[in-house]
Structure 1
C-alpha cells in the first residue's frame, strides 16, 4: 500500500514537473524565437503549427480508450487482448495518416489561395507545412505506444522522456538560431526530436512491456464499448481544437502574419492561464473518482465541488487580477511593445474563461456520473458558433473580433449553459453556490486591488525591478488575507496536510 502510494505521488510530481518544464521553456523561448525570426515569420510559424496541429483531432479519442482498456486488462493472462487492441488502434491510425496526407497535399498545392500571404511567405509556408504535416502524421500511430505505456502505469518513463524531449528541443533551437538557421530548420528539428521520442516509446513497448503486433478478432461488445468511449472523448478533443486553434487559421485567411503573431502571443497567455488552473484542479481527481463510484450526485460530491471551486477561484482570481493591472508591463518586458495589443485580446477571453476555470471539477463529476453527453454535444455546437462569430467579427472589426467571438461563445456555453446544467443535474442553487465560493475570496482581494492601483500610479516606468515590486507585495497581502478570512478551519487543515506531504516528496 505504501509503495503504491509512493508511486502515485511520484507520478503526480513528475506530471507537474513536465507541465512546468513545458511552460517555462516555452515562456523563455518565445521572445528568443520572435527576435530571431521577426514578427511576420513568427506569425507564419504559428499559422502552420495551428493548421498541422489539427491532425491531432484525428486521434478520435482512441488514445484515451487504449489507456483505459490497457489498464483494465493489465494481467498476464489477458496481455494478448491488450496487444490486439493496441494493434487495432495502430493500424487505424496508420490508415487515417495516409488518407490525411492526401488531403494535406491539396492544402499544399492551394496554400497561396487559402491564406492571405506574400509570395515569399507562400514559398516558405509550403515547405514548413509539408514538414509539419509529416511530423503530425507520424504522431498518430505513435499515440498507441504512449497510450500503452500510460495504460501500464509506466508514467515514470513517459514523463521522463517528455521532459527530456522538451529540454533537448530547447537546447537545439537555441544553438540553431545562434548559428543563424531559420524557420525551415526549426520545423526539421521538431520532426527529428519527435521521431526520436516515438522510437524510444516503441522500443520500451517491445522490450519492457512485451508488446507484439497481434492480429485477432475483437469481441463485438468490447469493440462497441471502445468506439463509444472514444466518441465522446473525440467530441471533447475536437471542441477544444475549434475553440483554441481555429482563430489563427481564420486570421491567416482574413488578415496578415503580423496580426497572427500578435494574436498568438495572446493565445499563449490564455493557455498559460488555463494550464495553471486546470493543473491545480487535477490534483483533486483521485478523491473524486473514489466518491463518484455510483451514478447519483450526493451531498459529499456537492460539498467537494464547492470546496474545489473555492480553491481554484483563489488561484484564478489571483492571476486574472494581476493580468488586469500588470498585463501590459508583462507583455512589454516579455516580447516587446510591438505585441501590446495582445493584452486586450487576452483579457477579453480571460474574463469569461475565469468562470469556467474555477468550475473545472464540475465536468469531471459529470463524467463520473455519466451525465456528460449533453455537455459534449452543446460544447461542439458552441465551438462551431465560435467559428461563425469569428469570421463575421474579424471582417467587421479586425483581429479583436476573434477574441470577441471566442469570448461570447464561451459565455454562452461554458458559463450560462454549464451553470444551468449544474443547477439541474446537481440540484444546486447557483446563487448560493457562487456566494459561498466567491464572496469571501473576492473581499480578500480588495486590499490587493488598491495596492496594485497605487503601485501602477507610482511606478510608471516599465522595468523588471518595478514589475517584481508591483507583483510581489500585493500578492503576499492577498494570500495572507485569503488564509485568514476566506478559508474555513477545515480548509486550513487541508492546506497544512498538503504542505506537510510535499515536505516528504
Structure 2
C-alpha cells in the first residue's frame, strides 16, 4: 500500500486565506453549521425513536431481522461500488471549491467513476446474488433495497458536505424523514408489511438523492468548460482505493456481524441484535456528524493554516467527548427501560446486548476523531486503512468462534473489542509522532471525566429510587443529564462555557 505524501503548509497560507472571500458555494460559518447540525440531531433522533418503537412492536424480531439481513447484503454492493469516494469526495471538493471549473471537473470525474462502478455492481447483484436459491425468500426485499445502490452513488452527498452547504442538507434531511414517518404509520399495519419497512429504509437512506443530482447538474456540472478528453479519472484511483480498503474494513465489522449472525443462527437473533445495535448506531451517526461538519474546514486549514487546524481539532475532540460519554452511561444504566419502551417485552433478550454495546458511543467517537479528523486531512489514509484492516480481521475471526455459543451478545462483545483495537493502534501511532498532545486538552478531559463519574453515580442511584414506564424514565433522563451539565459548569468545562456564552449573546441580540 503506497503511502500518501503528506502535503506541507503553503507559504503565505494566511494571505491565501484572506484572498478567498467568496468560494463557489460560500461555506457557512462554523456556528451556523453547528446549529443546523443540532436541528438534524434532534429531529432525526425524535423520528428514529418514534418509528423504531412502532415498527419493532408491529413487525417483531423475526421480520425486522429478515429485512436487516437483506439490507446488509445490499449495503455491501453499495460499499464496493462507491470505492471510498464519499469520504474522498468531501476532501477534494473542499480543496477545489475556490475555483468553479476545477470544482466542476473534480465532481464530474468522480460521478463518471461512480456510474461505471454502479453498473458493474448491478450486473453482479442481479446476475448472481438475486438468482441464488439460498436467497429465494429475500427476492422481494432485494428488489426494493437495490434502489439504494444507484441513489447513493449518484446522489453526490459528498459534494454538499464538501462545500459545507448545511442548510440544503438539513432541509432535505427533515423532508425525507417526514415522508418516511408517513409511509411507516400509514402503511405498516401487520407483520406481513415488512417490504414497506424496507422501502422506508430506502427513503431514509437516499430517497432525496435524486434532487441532489438535479442541483449538481444545474449549479455545478454546467460550469465545466473543458472537454471530455481533459477529464482525468485515473488520478483519483490510487487515493480512492486506499480509502476504499479502510471503508471495506470498517463495514466488515459494522455490517458483517448481522450477516454472520443470520447465516449461523436465525433471523430471530438478528432481530435481537439489530434493535439495540440500531439504537446505538443511530446515536453514533449523530455524534460523528458533529465531526463531519468540521472535516471540510480541517482539510482546508491543514494545508493553509496549521494553528487554526489544531485549534478546531481540539474543539472537535472536546465536543465529541462531552456528548458521547454521557450517552454511553445512559445506554448502560437505562438499557432495560430503553429496550422495553422501544421494543416491548418481546425484546427483553436485547437488554444485555444494549449494555454491552453502550461503550461504542464513546469508542467510535474517539476513533472517528483520530481517523477522519486527524489522519485523513493529513493524507495518512494508509495508516487508517491498516488500523481498520487489523480490526476487521480480528472481528471476523473472533465472531466465527463466538457466535454459536453466545449468539447476539457474543457479536456485541466482538464489536466493542474490534473498535477498541482500532483506537489502540491509532493512539500508539499518534503518540509516536507526538501529535496526540497537540489536540488533547488534558485539563478539560479531566473535567469531562469528573462530570461523567458524577452522572454514573446518579444513574445508579436513580435506578434504585425510581421504577416504572415512560414518565419515570423521562424524569431519570432529565435528572441524569442535569447533574452532568451542572458539574460541567461548576468545573468550567470549555465547551459548556462556550455554549452558555453563545446563548447569552444570542438572547442579548434577540432582546435588543
Matched-pair contact (CA < 8 Å) for 1:305–1:362: no
| Cross-structure match for 2:484 | 478
Deviation of 1:208 (Å): 4.0
**1:131 and 2:135 matched:** no
Deviation of 1:164 (Å): 1.2
Aligned length: 483
**1:320 and 2:328 matched:** yes
| Cross-structure match for 1:119 | none
Deviations 1:167-207 (A, max 9, x none): 11221221112599712234456657888634323333344
Deviation of 1:496 (Å): 3.4
From 452, 455, 479, the equivalent of 2:459 is: 452
Matched-pair contact (CA < 8 Å) for 1:43–1:257: yes
Deviation of 1:443 (Å): 3.0
Between 368-377 and 202-211, report the one with greater CA deviation.
202-211
* Distance (Å, rounded) in 2 between the aligned partners of 1:302 and 1:90: 32
Deviations 1:71-111 (A, max 9, x none): 555578x53x5555444433433332232223223222325
From 377, 382, 394, the equivalent of 2:391 is: 382
From 493, 496, 502, the equivalent of 1:498 is: 502
* Distance (Å, rounded) in 1 between the aligned partners of 2:167 and 2:303: 27
Q: How does 1:422-433 map to 2 (within 5 A)?
A: 422-426=430-434, 428=436
Q: How does 1:54-203 map to 2 (within 5 A)?
A: 54-57=76-79, 58-70=81-93, 74=97, 79=101, 85-105=106-126, 106-110=128-132, 112=134, 122-123=136-137, 125-133=138-146, 135-144=147-156, 146-148=157-159, 154-178=165-189, 182-188=193-199, 197-203=208-214
Q: How does 1:277-292 map to 2 (within 5 A)?
A: 277-282=287-292, 288=298, 292=302
Structure with the larger RCO, 1 or 2 (CA within 8 Å, 6+ apart): 2
Aligned in 2, Cα 1:215/1:15: closer, same or farther, shift over 3 Å?
A: farther
* Distance (Å, rounded) in 2 between the aligned partners of 1:365 and 1:373: 13
Deviations 1:152-175 (A, max 9, x none): 655433432332122112212211
Aligned in 2, Cα 1:208/1:403: closer, same or farther, shift over 3 Å?
A: same
From 417, 423, 426, the equivalent of 1:408 is: 417
Query: Unmatched 5+ residue regions in structure 1?
Result: 115-121
* Distance (Å, rounded) in 2 between the aligned partners of 1:74 and 1:306: 25
Aligned in 2, Cα 1:148/1:427: closer, same or farther, shift over 3 Å?
A: closer
Q: What SS does the corresponding residue of 1:292 show, helix, strand or coil?
A: helix
> What's the RMSD between the two structures over aligned residues?
3.7
| Cross-structure match for 1:351 | 359
| Cross-structure match for 1:26 | 48
Aligned in 2, Cα 1:250/1:491: closer, same or farther, shift over 3 Å?
A: closer
| Cross-structure match for 1:117 | none
Between 371-380 and 205-214, report the one with greater CA deviation.
205-214
From 445, 450, 458, the equivalent of 1:443 is: 450
Deviation of 1:65 (Å): 4.3
Deviation of 1:307 (Å): 5.9
Matched-pair contact (CA < 8 Å) for 1:87–1:215: no
* Distance (Å, rounded) in 2 between the aligned partners of 1:66 and 1:491: 30
Deviations 1:7-60 (A, max 9, x none): 665454334433433332222111211222222111101111111122221211
Q: What SS does the corresponding residue of 2:248 show, helix, strand or coil?
A: helix
Matched-pair contact (CA < 8 Å) for 1:67–1:148: yes
Between 94-103 and 389-398, report the one with greater CA deviation.
94-103
From 41, 66, 70, the equivalent of 1:48 is: 70
